[in-house]
Amino acid sequence: MIKGIALGFLAYGLFAFGDAAVKALAGKLSVFEIGFFGA
């Protein structure tokens, strides 16, 4: 149970970090470049 909760928090944190990184790069790179490097 504790492992599942920790995994959920980790996944949410990684999602938030990725979302912030994409928004920070949105003005500098094209959508295709962000998708390519994010994959």
Range(s) of the domain holding residue 18: 2-38
- Nearest CA-CA partner of 38 in 1, 20, 5, 10: 20
List Cα–Cα distances, 28 to 7, 15, 16, 23, 39, in angstroms: 32, 21, 20, 10, 18
Confidence (pLDDT) at 6: 96
Sign of CA dihedral 19, 21, 27, 33: negative
Confidence (pLDDT) at 38: 66
**pLDDT tens, per residue, the chain with 39 residues:** 899 999 999 999 999 998 888 788 777 777 777 778 766
Count structural domains, the chain. Answer: 1
Q: Which two tokens stand for residue 26?
A: 């949105």
Q: Which two tokens stand for residue 7?
A: 């995994």
Total-model pTM: 0.61
